Amino acid sequence: MTEKFPHNSIESESVEPVAEIESDVEKFGTKFAVQKLFYKLGMCGIDTRLFEPETSVDEIEKTLGEMEATDRGFTIRFSYKNALNLPRGFFKTPQECLDFIKKERKDYAIIVQEYTRLINSFELYYDGNVSYLQALAGIWEVDATEAPDIIQKKDDELTIWRFRQPREAKLINDENKFYKEKRDPFTFAQLQEFYKKLEPYKDRLEIVRKIFNPLFCHFYEDDQGRLCFINLRNVGGVPINEGSPSAFHVVKDISDIETWDGNLPVLFDVQTERDNDAPLIETIKALRDKEIKSVFVNYGILSHPAILLREAGVQVQQSYQLYEKQIISTQKDETETGKKNISVADQLEQIETGEAYKEIDPKVEQELHDPHIISLSQILEEDSSFIGGKAYNLGKIAKAGFSIPRGFVVTTRAFKRWVENTGKLDADISDQISKAFQLLRLENVAVRSSSTVEDLSQASSAGVYKTSLYFRRD
């Protein structure tokens, strides 16, 4: 029997998914059933045709002829129960497709899609409470151990962990051959855009989650910005996404487990091959034997190794070693696309710093050294007991060639006279201070105390040490 799928997707309300999907999974396999569900929900994005095992070759031929595709060609996948690694192919013409189908179809269900250029891949996890959208440039194979970018949505907060390094994206060329291309890291703005792209699919994803909870689906974006949902995956338990320590014991293979000291958190970094899980599984077994119950990973918390770890009862957290984090409150919608192209440097110009800093003639500063007033750049070793630790350190830093803001220190000798005069400044000191202001061309100043050992023993004066800013000269 042929089920004719409508060319245009049906409205989501008309889908009665639960009963249908169960029988589809049984009859045609998960891959087909899921693709059909996405198709019916209008989530395929690209031209997609689905054929049940009984569909006649004539019918398939007719349908292929109707496809808008494309001078680029078609991709064909088969689905049968839970079978993996069924033949799949890429073909330029409908005739080539037909030949392949006739030769390989057995009793498989068939998925034919227009060939499209995949740009970015995504995985979405949602359990009704927290959602993670993971993004990766290029193709995301099931065995990918690349670290994806992660966008977490919880309550009204979007937390983005941005992968900081360029990636070698895996892509397919027009001859259907894999190649690698260097891609710059995504920006925070781009990652936020990715999340926004899911907005129109919200209700439909909820429908899918009613059947498969927690939801864990795979989709990609093509060069025309279309999203195509293609797969559901097994999550293997709930991912955790907490912070991470900065020091790890790194496990690259089974021998690294032997050398674990029992204290440092484990960074599980075993790389996998698509066709060979054995080293991965061996290492996970060894983890369990050592009773290591929780590990960090650099690759995605939804990656294949992470899933295997969770299935083995090992908790998995993202290490964020190579990430930069940003938290965005989503309560108010901040769209600022118009400003996006302005560089950060330009934006920083908006922060006023006033007129250019005036350099002072070193000769002038040399004059500023007497028992009461000392320019910060003129502090000598023997001044140390009269100027306090803070000023002494600043003097030393200035002498070593670092930039410090120009200024002077009023010594403890002057301070003592001020205290003895019950808070009245002697005229000579007052004149010296005015002169220092003039010579150093000080305008807005920060006034801070610089305490000596003597002061430190007097706890009661603690409040005096507080730095006060913004004294205007006068």
Partner 1 sequence: MAIIVQEMINARISGVLFTCNPLNRDTGESEFVINATFGLGEPLVSGKVSGDTFIIDKEKRLIKESTITQKNSMLTKDGEVSVPESIKSVSALNNSQIDQLVQIGKEIEELFGAPQDIEFAIAHDKIWILQSRSITKSGS
Alpha carbon distance 81, 338 (integer Å)? 49
C-alpha atoms less than 13 angstroms from C-alpha of 183 in its C-beta half-sphere = 20
Q: How far is the CB of 193 from partner 1 (least distance, A)?
A: 14
Choice between 209 and 390, CB closer to partner 1: 390
Asked if 89 and 111 count as a contact pair (C-beta separation under 8 A), the reply is: no
Q: Token pair 């730095």 is at which residue?
A: 467
Choice between 233 and 417, CB closer to partner 1: 417
Alpha carbon distance 301, 324 (integer Å)? 16
Residue 341: DSSP 8-state: T
Read off φ and ψ for residue 103, nearest 5 degrees.
-75, -40
Residues 284/288/290/295 CA torsion (nearest 10 deg): 70
Choice between 84 and 247, CB closer to partner 1: 247
Choice between 102 and 441, CB closer to partner 1: 441
Q: How far is the CB of 378 from partner 1 (least distance, A)?
A: 14
Q: In whole angstroms, how far apart are CA 82 and each of 23, 29, 30, 78, 418?
A: 14, 6, 6, 11, 89
Q: How far is the CB of 187 from partner 1 (least distance, A)?
A: 10
Q: How far is the CB of 185 from partner 1 (least distance, A)?
A: 12
Choice between 230 and 368, CB closer to partner 1: 368
**Three-class SS state of 62:** helix
Choice between 233 and 369, CB closer to partner 1: 369
Q: In whole angstroms, how far apart are CA 16 and each of 30, 41, 111, 230, 337?
A: 17, 11, 21, 20, 39
- DSSP H or E run through 282: helix 278-289
- Region for residue 449 given its phi and psi (left: phi exceeds 0; alpha: psi -120 to 50; beta: otherwise): beta
Choice between 118 and 267, CB closer to partner 1: 267
Q: How far is the CB of 155 from partner 1 (least distance, A)?
A: 15
Q: How far is the CB of 357 from partner 1 (least distance, A)?
A: 5
Choice between 233 and 413, CB closer to partner 1: 413
According to DSSP, the β-strands at 249-251 and 266-268 are parallel
**Three-class SS state of 166:** coil
Choice between 68 and 470, CB closer to partner 1: 470
List, in order, residues 6 or more apart from 422 with CB less than 8 Å away. Answer: none
Choice between 236 and 395, CB closer to partner 1: 395
Strand order in the sheet with 315-318: 249-251, 266-268, 294-297, 315-318
Choice between 8 and 335, CB closer to partner 1: 335
Q: How far is the CB of 127 from partner 1 (least distance, A)?
A: 25
Q: How far is the CB of 317 from partner 1 (least distance, A)?
A: 14
Q: How far is the CB of 314 from partner 1 (least distance, A)?
A: 23
Asked if 64 and 94 count as a contact pair (C-beta separation under 8 A), the reply is: yes
Q: How far is the CB of 257 from partner 1 (least distance, A)?
A: 20
**Three-class SS state of 140:** coil
Q: How far is the CB of 448 from partner 1 (least distance, A)?
A: 5
**Three-class SS state of 30:** helix
What are the CB-based long-range contacts (under 8 Å, 24+) for 2-9? Answer: 2/51, 2/52, 2/54, 2/55, 2/56, 2/59, 3/50, 3/52, 5/36, 5/39, 5/40, 5/49, 5/50, 7/66, 8/42, 9/39, 9/40, 9/41, 9/42, 9/43, 9/44
